[in-house]
Amino acid sequence: MRRLERLRRLAWVATQSEGSAVTLSDDGGPSDTPPVLTHDDGVIAIDTLTAGMTDVTAGYLIDAPRPALIECGPALTIGSVLQGLAALGLGPSDLAYLVLTHIHLDHAGGAGDVAAAFPNATVVVSEHGARHLAEPDRLNASSARVYGPLFDTVYGACTPVPAERLRSIADRDELDLGAGRVLELLHTPGHAKHHLGVVDPDIGAVFSGDSVGVQLPGMTELRPATPPPEFHLEAALRSLDRYRERSPGRIYLAHYGPVDPADAVLDQAEEQLRRWVEVAELARDEAHTLGLSGTHELDHVAETLQQRFHVRRQPSAEADDVAEDDARLRMLNDTRANAAGLLRYLHRRDTGELTELG
């Protein structure tokens, strides 16, 4: 009862100040918990405060008889998410599910900590990624190589989730939240082999992780997320089609927030994926003509993508905001990392090494 009453109060306050973040202390006043915002469909966004910044990665709480948190963010800032859940009135026995769209550390790094804080919660993850949460040594080692210094300063190591607390999801599995509310879980590779899309038919929403792309506040268009080693254009496009088949009205991006109408968002996501691959392929071929290889080839492709795809922002964006947004984007969606993923995809495509998943 206490949890539900606080959620109702939070939802009421959010409707009085549309688009603003609201947190509550025990007496209903402001607190130092992370930004929490209830959207008009009842989805509650909790800012994970990744890297100490707002508007980087969101966790989404679905309030139901068996509440579900979709995404938890990295281990280093999981305390912020736990504070947000506590501010909403969730006690240790209240959270039923932690649903992870994929096991990259900016989405799932804090999973073991959430499992420890909520001993009744089941951690829901693709069957292709579950073992890496139970035994995360390989995940942490590969993440440290990919992230470099950011592994220690932004993400931190993923702590293990006990195997008995994991639910490995196959394509089209369902998650029963009670009172007739069911989430459909789709296998949506392209960004990663172990990616899931979460469909909530009750509100007509898709929680897309990184499968649709990145659009931080102030940006006017999506950017694809094409990191190595598993980016796969054809799989990514099939995943977008699977979302279209569900006819959602809204897409919830992990980075960052809701975007709609969904059909236009999915069309833009497809267009951007195709354009980025096309430009990367032309730049790669040009690099070969110039005799460039290795890091020089990557530099050329990254520079070409950077020049071709400028970040478009709202006209009202101020200089300080732009600088902060650039820092967020470099961390989340660095052009060089995208270029590396595109080059790996092109090589594997051209040599016949691609599998159906990546």
Check which CATH number belongs to the domain holding 122 and give it.
3.60.15.10
* Of residues 232, 215, 253, 229, the one with CA closest to residue 329: 215
Q: How many domains does the chain fold into?
A: 2
Amino acid at 114: V
Omega of the bond prior to 261 within 30 degrees of 0, cis? yes
Q: Are 151 and 141 in contact (CB under 8 A)?
A: no
Quick one: 354 and 228 in the same domain? yes
Q: Which of 161, 196, 231 is the last residue of a domain?
A: 161
**How are the residues of the chain apportioned to helix, strand and coil, as percentages rounded to the nearest 5?**
45, 15, 40
Q: Is residue 25 part of a domain?
A: yes
| Unique residue bearing structure tokens 């006819």 | 247
Q: How many alpha carbons fall within 13 Å on the CB side of residue 37?
A: 17
Quick one: 202 and 156 in the same domain? no
| Of the listed ranges 3-12, 74-83, 110-119, 253-262, the one predicted with least confidence | 3-12
Indicate the helix (H) or strand (E) that contains 243.
Answer: helix 233-245
pLDDT tens readout for residues 46-88: 999 999 999 999 999 999 999 999 999 999 999 999 999 999 9
pLDDT tens readout for residues 80-138: 999 999 999 999 999 999 999 999 999 999 999 999 999 999 999 999 999 999 999 99
Q: Which of 161, 176, 197 is the last residue of a domain?
A: 161
pTM, rounded to two decimals:
0.90
Q: Is residue 54 part of a domain?
A: yes
Quick one: 268 and 200 in the same domain? yes
**N residues, the chain:** 358
Domain containing 32 equals 1-161
Quick one: 193 and 157 in the same domain? no
Q: Are 112 and 161 in contact (CB under 8 A)?
A: yes
